Structure 1
Amino acid sequence: MITRRGFMQVLGGGFASAMALGGYAFAVEPLARLKVTRYELTPPGWTPGLKLRVVALADLHACEPWMSANRIASICARANDLGGDITVLLGDYTSGMNLVTRYVHSSEWSKALATLRAPLGVHAIMGNHDWWEDRTAQQNGGGGTFGHRALAEVGIPVHANRAIRLEKDGFGFWLAGLEDQLALLPGKKWNRGSMQGLDDLDGTLTQVSDEAPVILLAHEPDIFAKVPQRVSLTLCGHTHGGQVRLIGRSPVVPSRFGDRYAYGHIVEDDRNLIVSGGLGCSIAPIRFGVPPEIVVIDLG
């Protein structure tokens, strides 16, 4: 039989453990950790002989103290050292929460991202928060956001339902970027199903004019359910891996598919999806079991 003293010791130990875990999730993992997650694959239909390294950054959510312009610049320096042939930015550059000491202006985070370097360039798409935080874009129902303009001003192209052909060592491939799938909010009383997307998957893929492999950039991974086998690899962010991940699963994922497309390398019907755990936080500044990451994919 447990004594009162024993009970209080257990209770105190449990409280201390909870405080330690909470402190780690709040102050250590979001702020002090940065890992590099690597994948190697040769998707079906990939051109023999084409070796391509892709470096991907997702979900910065620039704000202080969690993701300052200086921290973004240091992440970019780390990304530059990874030897990527091409660097891709998967959206959500603006803050996604109110628990901040200062909002980082688009002119600041874009200037930090402008330090990225890659032989085949730096290429971007936008995320839902980039749209949601721009009241003018919401009122206009499209037409681009301050994020689009900020990246364009520092020379980083934003691919909004656009596909371009690139070459590495004489081998061609296509980079296709979708506009956001949750871009427009319907009003104060809304739910995820009533948001309006500005993505055009079919229209984007019709721009692909030869048999070279296609890499698709899409902020939200839900689109993967209808991505055709013609696409060699789909790269997404948005979920943050659930921001809390335990024993390989995330209890809460911003996806209508739940944990199915929450994080990592997913293969369905010979189609390949990689979902980044991202770098910043949204809703709450907490990460546990899914530290901020830069993703490196070696193809071929």
Structure 2
Amino acid sequence: MLTRRGMLKTFGGLFAAGFASSTYAVGIEPLLRLRTTTYQISPPGWPEGQKLRIVALADIHACEPWMNARRIGDICRYANDLGGDIVVLLGDYVSSMRAVWSQVPPDIWAAELSALRAPLGVHAVLGNHDWWDDLDAQAADGGDTLSHRVLQAAGIAVYSNRAARIQTATGAFWLAGLEDQIALRPGRSWNRFAYVGLDDLPGTLAQVTDDAPILLLAHEPDIFPQVPARVSLTLSGHTHGGQVRLFGYSPMVPSAYGNRFAYGHVIEDGRHLCVSGGLGCSIAPVRFGSPPEIMVVELG
């Protein structure tokens, strides 16, 4: 028989567990944890013996206190120690969260990112929040955002529907980067209800002029069903792994495909996608079962 004392103990235990989980999800996992997740992949179209180690950072969402300048700098120094041949940044450098003390100015977070180093350079695409928070870029329906400008000023190559051929000691590859797929908010006289993407996958891939393999950077993974087999690997962020992830499932994922592209290494029809869990938080400063991570991909 369940007594009154037993009921109180049960409810007390549930309350304590809920409080502990909430404390961990808000105060520990997003602020204090950082993991490195490594994938070793030999995708179709990638030449045998052509080695490439990619270090990928996504979804920084710079803000106080969750992702302040000091923490960004610490993450960059740690990323440099991972020995990547190339560093790629997968978008969303600014934060739109309301639950913050203050925003980190773009020139400050860009200065911290300028410390990143790799033999083949540091290369970036933008994310939706970099567009959504730039009112001038929204009003202009495109062009360069403030994030474009501060990254370039920091010496980081920014890809906006652009492909570049990169030569390495073991072979060449093409690095292609898409502009954001939901860059422009709805509300205009000509577009009241839908987000508008500025990405151009066919135009970007048309810049490839030889048979060297292609790596594609795309902030949102939702482009993946349209990516042709000619692309050896697509790298994305945006989803944060759902920020709350239990037993490989996230109840809320900012993707039209739900958990299909929420996180990790995805293979469909022989095509490969790697989705980073990202570093910062969006909407709410909560992470549970999806700690901030740096993604490392070893090809060849």
Inter-CA distance 56–192: structure 2 relative to 1 (3 Å threshold): farther
1:119-198 to 2 correspondences below 5 Å: 119-187=119-187, 194-198=194-198
Q: Which 4+ stretches in 1 moved above 4 angstroms?
A: none
- Give the superposition deviation at 1:47: 1.1
User: Which whole-Å CA distance do the structure 2 matches of 1:167 and 1:13 have between them?
Assistant: 59
2:289 is the counterpart of 1:285: no
User: Which whole-Å CA distance do the structure 2 matches of 1:108 and 1:71 have between them?
Assistant: 12
- Give the superposition deviation at 1:45: 1.2
Q: What is residue 239 of structure 1 aligned with on the other side?
A: 239
Inter-CA distance 231–164: structure 2 relative to 1 (3 Å threshold): same
Q: Deviations over 1:229-271 (max 9, x none)?
A: 0000000000000000011000100000011000000000000
Equivalenced residues, count: 299
2:271 is the counterpart of 1:265: no
The answer for unaligned runs of 5 or more in structure 1 is none
Q: Deviations over 1:172-212 (max 9, x none)?
A: 10000000000000129xx9981000000000000011111
Secondary structure, aligned partner of 2:7: helix
User: Which whole-Å CA distance do the structure 1 matches of 2:55 and 2:167 have between them?
Assistant: 16
User: Which whole-Å CA distance do the structure 2 matches of 1:16 and 1:277 have between them?
Assistant: 28
User: Which whole-Å CA distance do the structure 2 matches of 1:84 and 1:78 have between them?
Assistant: 11
- Give the superposition deviation at 1:82: 0.3
User: Which whole-Å CA distance do the structure 2 matches of 1:100 and 1:27 have between them?
Assistant: 13
Inter-CA distance 102–241: structure 2 relative to 1 (3 Å threshold): same
User: Which whole-Å CA distance do the structure 1 matches of 2:201 and 2:144 have between them?
Assistant: 18
Please, what is the CA RMSD of the aligned residues?
A: 1.4
1:1-300 to 2 correspondences below 5 Å: 1-187=1-187, 194-300=194-300
User: Which whole-Å CA distance do the structure 2 matches of 1:186 and 1:14 have between them?
Assistant: 43
Deviates more, 1:94-103 or 1:229-238: 94-103
> Residue 26 of structure 2 contacts residue 286 of structure 2 at CA under 8 Å; is this kept in 1?
yes
Secondary structure, aligned partner of 2:79: helix
The answer for unaligned runs of 5 or more in structure 2 is none
> Residue 89 of structure 1 contacts residue 122 of structure 1 at CA under 8 Å; is this kept in 2?
yes
Which residue identity lines up with residue 127 of structure 1 in the other structure?
A: G
> Residue 96 of structure 1 contacts residue 281 of structure 1 at CA under 8 Å; is this kept in 2?
no
Secondary structure, aligned partner of 2:158: coil
> Residue 186 of structure 2 contacts residue 192 of structure 2 at CA under 8 Å; is this kept in 1?
no
Secondary structure, aligned partner of 1:87: strand
Deviates more, 1:165-174 or 1:200-209: 165-174
> Residue 161 of structure 1 contacts residue 176 of structure 1 at CA under 8 Å; is this kept in 2?
yes
TM-score, structure 1 length as denominator? 0.98
User: Which whole-Å CA distance do the structure 1 matches of 2:175 and 2:73 have between them?
Assistant: 25
User: Which whole-Å CA distance do the structure 1 matches of 2:45 and 2:135 have between them?
Assistant: 42
Secondary structure, aligned partner of 1:5: helix
Secondary structure, aligned partner of 1:166: strand
Which residue identity lines up with residue 295 of structure 2 in the other structure?
A: V
Secondary structure, aligned partner of 2:157: coil
User: Which whole-Å CA distance do the structure 2 matches of 1:187 and 1:32 have between them?
Assistant: 38
Identity %: 63
Q: Deviations over 1:118-177 (max 9, x none)?
A: 000000000000000000000000011000000011110100000000011140100000
Which residue identity lines up with residue 204 of structure 1 in the other structure?
A: T
Secondary structure, aligned partner of 2:166: strand
> Residue 265 of structure 1 contacts residue 274 of structure 1 at CA under 8 Å; is this kept in 2?
yes
- Give the superposition deviation at 1:96: 2.5
